Structure 1
Amino acid sequence: MDFSKGGEIADICTSHLGVDGTMNIHQRAERVMAERGLDTSDTTLRNFVVFKVVQALHHARRCKLLRIGRKA
């Protein structure tokens, strides 16, 4: 699997934040997979995409492109 376009996963995830900000990481990974036309029933692939989503969101947070956390 190639996510060669830099920031593609983070872009997909953040585009869905405005639609539904309550999704968990697995739901976000499934949205990424659906947008890329990947088989969401493939458990191994889904786990890989979950890992990539976590990495992308943490990277966006470190670069201050995204604020992750709960409101007080």
Structure 2
Amino acid sequence: MTFKYELIIYWSEEDQSFIVEVPELSGCAADGETYQAAVANAEVVIQEWIEIAQELGRPIPTPKGRLLFA
């Protein structure tokens, strides 16, 4: 499944890994040793976030694309 949520990706010196945040999905984030691994992990976490929201009957935000603050 292809997701169209904005991803904010940055290097964390403290964690020695790339961090991916998905601002439109509250609390949704992932990490990885490489940029590619971090994005792949984010795709898994986004899918899990959506599945759990559906199970709990919570609304799933429609992707808005680029956000103003990013």
Bigger strand fraction:
2
TM-score, scaled to structure 1: 0.41
Higher helix share: 1
Identify the structure with bigger relative contact order (alpha carbons < 8 Å, sequence gap 6+).
1
Scaled by the length of structure 2, what TM-score is found? 0.41
